[in-house]
Structure 1
Amino acid sequence: MMAFVTVIGFEDIMYNFKNQGMGVITSWIIMMFLYVIPYALMVGQLGSVFNDEGGGLSSWIRGTNGEFLGYFTAWTYWAASIPYVVDSAQSVIVGFGWAFTGSSDFQSNMPNSTFTLLTFIVFIIFIFVQRHLANSMEILSTIGGFAMFAMTVLFVFMSIVGLIKSGGHMATQPMNIKTLLPKFDLKYLTTIGLLIYAVNGAELVAPYVTQMKKPKVEFPKAMITLALMTTFLTIFGSFSLGIFFDANNLPNDLKMNGDYYAFQALGQQYGVGNLFMYIYAWTSVIYMCALLAVLLDAMTRMLISDTGKEYMPAFLRKKNTDGLPINGYILTCTLSGFIMLLGIFLPEMNDIFNWLLNLNGIISPGVTCWIFYAFMRIRKNPEKYPSEYIFIKNDKVAYIVGLLLLLVTGAATLLGIAPQDVEIYSGTWWYELVINIVAIFFLIGLGTLLPLIRKREEEYGIAFDKKQWVIMITTTIFAVVVMVWLGGTDLNTKVALVVAVAVFSILFLWLIGHRKPITLNIKK
């Protein structure tokens, strides 16, 4: 159940329904048998091999490829969570809007700048909240996760019952085999990444393997159960959405507000008004708030504590008297703020939400590639990595299956860079393409710089002197002010500005990396 609430949720079903309509049912079936089940079973074998390790994915890579790649895996996994926590913070605001107003008017009438500011304020609040209520938030996230699961199952069950009572009338027409088949075109290929994003995450529970009574046997069984539950919910959940929404004419804001629209329609069908919607809204708010607090704390601690001193700069590993990595929190908030700033120039708040969601569909599948790579490594050397549970007895066949899933996931990651939910080749499309590339470059590229910064610390005693810090901070603030000041200009200017800032940042980091600090300590 812990794995289930991290892998699939009602909103995941909604996102992909928006992308593919009723054809997503066929996509889910294909995904379940050709991707999710083998993926879950591979995670099962990796968890069985490294059942004494508590780090999950980074421990698997470290155990098969050494310390540096283990560090870089931990970094990319952490970087991939940045868009996710920003998305969660935005979902908190959307949830509060529905919980208090009962409609989408709160979000619809909000300027992008206000939405971004509120999102950042939510970040700051929960940095403080988790410090004092970390354990309570973990409990609330578990309760909220189970409640979210219950609401999803309730929606599926009541939708089908309502369909039977209404004589089988569905909003999606016609309802036939052709309707259930997706269009395998370029647009479809760009949405595969979001399908993978919706069903990955099983590896998050790997650190809990050691807490099971018989981990080598029970963990693989848990993964099989997870795959079956996910299959049931995605297929029947998508079908239930077709009862209330015309898949041929979906609302533009379905990804942001669709789950609330769905429960609103369910309540109207049963004559209870907005009752189900309000229950779901508060369930979502509680879950998202708790999840955000835990994520902000856990992801930072995991990165700082799960990487060796050889690669992580000392100033990031610095902790206060309460044992909290304060500078790590600052880094998290800074990168989150950068991601939010990139999206502030999009036309509407709905565009910001969709873009950020689609960014998750690029970065998250990219990180999933590490799982298949680790699986290939253990199957290439089975004697070195014995396991009580084995997925596919033949090592060569297993290796080929792992390679195929790696290639498919890698291709989905690259194709996902193409913007979605906007008119192709429009100004907004080109802008989203640019900020997708910039976001990926900064989130992943920074991970390659940290070991170099750590090397400077070891060589000079400090990474940067005060003058260099002042120059970097001043330059960053200047770039932000210029970007905000030009926020009302045309998209071409924004694209040029983002590219200029990206190029300048690369050159600046290169130059600053080759300058010795003015105040040198004795070389150690």
Structure 2
Amino acid sequence: MDNLQTQKKYLTWPILTLMAFVTVIGFDDIMYNFQNQGMTVITSWILMLFLYVIPYSLMVGQLGGIFNKEGGGLSSWIRGTNGEFLGYFTAWTYWAASIPYVVDSANSVVVGFGWAFTGSGKFQNTMSNAAFTFWTFVTFIVFIFVQRRLKNSMEILSTIGGGMMFLMTILFVLLAFVGLAKTGGHMATQPMTWHTIIPKFDLKYWSTVGMLIYAVNGCELIAPYVTQMKTPKREFPKAMIALAVMTAFLTIFGSFALGIYFDAYNLPNDLKMNGSYYAFAALGKQFGVGNLFMYIYAWTSVLYMCALLAVLLDAMTRMLISDTGDHYMPKFLQKTNKDGLPINGYILTCGLSAFIMLLGIFLPEMNDIFNWLLNLNGIISPGVTCWIFYAFMRVRKNSAKYPSEYIFIKNDRLAYFAGLGLLVVTALATILGISPQDVKLFSNTWWYELVINIVSITVLIGLGAILPSVRKREEKYGIAFDKTQWYLIFALLILSIIFNVWLGGTKIALRGLYILIESIIAILVIWLIAKQTPKISEK
């Protein structure tokens, strides 16, 4: 009886594999990269699996084992190897990277409801960019209010939605091959030869690698569970190899299955936003069930994305406030209500999300907004992943100081250079990813997206560098800003919104330049305000 109770405490490697799989890959990840690279993405997936996913996962396993007493989170790895400030800044960048993700998730909720209710993407033709942005923001507000009451329910729904999404993906791949056999091997992608899947390693290709990394990262979320295995040294590599096999099946065969229904040489421009629905509609048509598969997928997507959005909005804000260090995070952002909810943290989340949405509202079409937000994730998310490899390098530089039951590559020097290699690749993918995707090179829209990419990254990451200075003002004066200073900052934000609305009437070629100038002026004004000593009112 005692032995049975002891066994229940351990996590088996198949369970860990499934937990990791949910965080790593999904059907939309395959669709996004299929549009970026076409059938050549099959080769890219194979290279990514062996040269990136497996070593990345095993490095995460060792880091999780070393810092298991601190929860095994990314910020604790950096804090444990580089000190408190860099730990804080890592937590901030990890949080900042989730802002475009939740905005993209809210967009997906709006798109999913459109398909679920209308059975087509025609509603997008009648919805303006302003309406799309408005409903996205309404989605934010609704879920911030409901997550407090339905938080546990949403976590359950997200598990159900995630499981259903996985089953729908497997169903699509299997039925696609059954359908291929029924048609005698006919594919929409023609000609289909070995040359079809060989990438052309040019600048355009390398600028899309960031989206591949964005698709497969997230494995660090399972790091805290490494120490819950009975024999991590033997079982964890098994789990990661199994993860690689499952990911290989889904990405390689899933991409091939997409080539059955879509001509990889002539893909729809809105494939990233609507491709999943097109795919299941085509599958249903082939098997004579009409739009049945599409409707099932649409409601599965809505269920999953709604639950994910609610959990993310709560979890990311709580993580930021609780895991960034009291010495660096301003007190007014740590303020909670009677239920322990970080109210001002939610306001900051909504404010930055609105800022991101406002930048995208001036793009030509709704599809451009969706694609831009998605590609912004492909820049920021890989950039945050760089911290993982940096922490691993620090650990292997002084391995005696950081003992672990599980070790990836026994030779410290070899392990160090393995971490360095992945760090360089990820950093280059992040930098090259700043180049806009899905638009004509050097067109007016391309230049506009380039500017708002730079502005978004600067604001999201730069704000994290400013907040410790705000905290110092609180420590020195008792408050960060007085009422007059807060009014000036608020007025600056209102004027910025009005100015951005006015930009809607200008040519897109000038909008990016205006936004860049506006951002520089706003930073200068806030700096001047911060130079003034706050006036403390006497009680």
What TM-score, normalized to structure 1? 0.98
Task: Identify which of 471, 484, 493 aligns with 1:454.
Answer: 471
* Distance in structure 1 (CA, Å) of the matches to 2:241 and 2:525: 49
Q: Deviations over 1:305-360 (max 9, x none)?
A: 01211000000000000000000000000000000000000000000000000000
* Distance in structure 2 (CA, Å) of the matches to 1:478 and 1:207: 45
Matched, 1:426 2:459: no
The corresponding residue for 2:255 is 238
CA contact (8 A) 1:137 1:294 kept: yes
- Could you tell me which amino acid in structure 2 is paired with residue 508 of structure 1? V
What TM-score, normalized to structure 2? 0.95
**Alpha carbons of 1:106 and 1:214: their partners in 2 closer, same or farther (altered >3 Å)?**
farther
Task: Identify which of 372, 378, 390 aligns with 1:361.
Answer: 378
The corresponding residue for 1:227 is 244
The corresponding residue for 1:464 is 481
Q: Between 204-213 and 122-131, report the one with greater CA deviation.
A: 204-213
How far the C-alpha of 1:224 sits from its partner, in A, is 3.0
Matched, 1:337 2:354: yes
The 5 A counterparts of 1:30-109 are 30-109=47-126
The 5 A counterparts of 1:386-401 are 386-401=403-418
User: Unaligned 5+ residue runs, structure 2?
Assistant: 1-17
The corresponding residue for 1:147 is 164
The corresponding residue for 2:340 is 323
The corresponding residue for 1:10 is 27
* Distance in structure 1 (CA, Å) of the matches to 2:524 and 2:222: 40
Task: Identify which of 165, 175, 186 aligns with 1:158.
Answer: 175
Q: Deviations over 1:41-93 (max 9, x none)?
A: 11111112122221511111111111111110000000000000000000000
The 5 A counterparts of 1:251-270 are 251-270=268-287
CA contact (8 A) 2:65 2:224 kept: no
- Structure 2 residue matching 1:383: 3-state secondary structure: helix
The 5 A counterparts of 1:303-322 are 303-322=320-339
- Structure 2 residue matching 1:52: 3-state secondary structure: helix
How far the C-alpha of 1:467 sits from its partner, in A, is 0.5
- Could you tell me which amino acid in structure 2 is paired with residue 149 of structure 1? F
- Could you tell me which amino acid in structure 1 is paired with residue 68 of structure 2? N
Q: Deviations over 1:247-282 (max 9, x none)?
A: 000000000000000000010111101000000000
Task: Identify which of 368, 372, 378 aligns with 2:395.
Answer: 378
Q: Deviations over 1:157-183 (max 9, x none)?
A: 111111112111111011110001112
* Distance in structure 2 (CA, Å) of the matches to 1:2 and 1:478: 46
The 5 A counterparts of 1:78-227 are 78-209=95-226, 212=229, 218-227=235-244
Matched, 1:403 2:403: no
How far the C-alpha of 1:496 sits from its partner, in A, is 2.4
* Distance in structure 2 (CA, Å) of the matches to 1:401 and 1:266: 42
* Distance in structure 2 (CA, Å) of the matches to 1:104 and 1:483: 29
Q: Deviations over 1:352-392 (max 9, x none)?
A: 00000000000000000000001101111110111111111
**Alpha carbons of 1:11 and 1:402: their partners in 2 closer, same or farther (altered >3 Å)?**
same
Query: How many equivalent pairs are there?
Result: 522
Q: Deviations over 1:464-505 (max 9, x none)?
A: 011011110111111101211220210133112201221012
How far the C-alpha of 1:510 sits from its partner, in A, is 1.4
- Could you tell me which amino acid in structure 1 is paired with residue 254 of structure 2? G
CA contact (8 A) 1:422 1:429 kept: yes
CA contact (8 A) 1:7 1:201 kept: yes
CA contact (8 A) 1:256 1:354 kept: yes
The corresponding residue for 2:503 is 486
CA contact (8 A) 1:51 1:216 kept: no
* Distance in structure 2 (CA, Å) of the matches to 1:35 and 1:126: 35
- Structure 2 residue matching 1:488: 3-state secondary structure: coil
* Distance in structure 1 (CA, Å) of the matches to 2:531 and 2:321: 25
CA contact (8 A) 1:74 1:303 kept: yes
CA contact (8 A) 1:8 1:198 kept: yes
- Could you tell me which amino acid in structure 2 is paired with residue 430 of structure 1? W
* Distance in structure 2 (CA, Å) of the matches to 1:64 and 1:486: 46
* Distance in structure 2 (CA, Å) of the matches to 1:377 and 1:75: 20
CA contact (8 A) 2:25 2:215 kept: yes
Matched, 1:297 2:317: no
* Distance in structure 2 (CA, Å) of the matches to 1:484 and 1:215: 55
- Could you tell me which amino acid in structure 2 is paired with residue 186 of structure 1? L
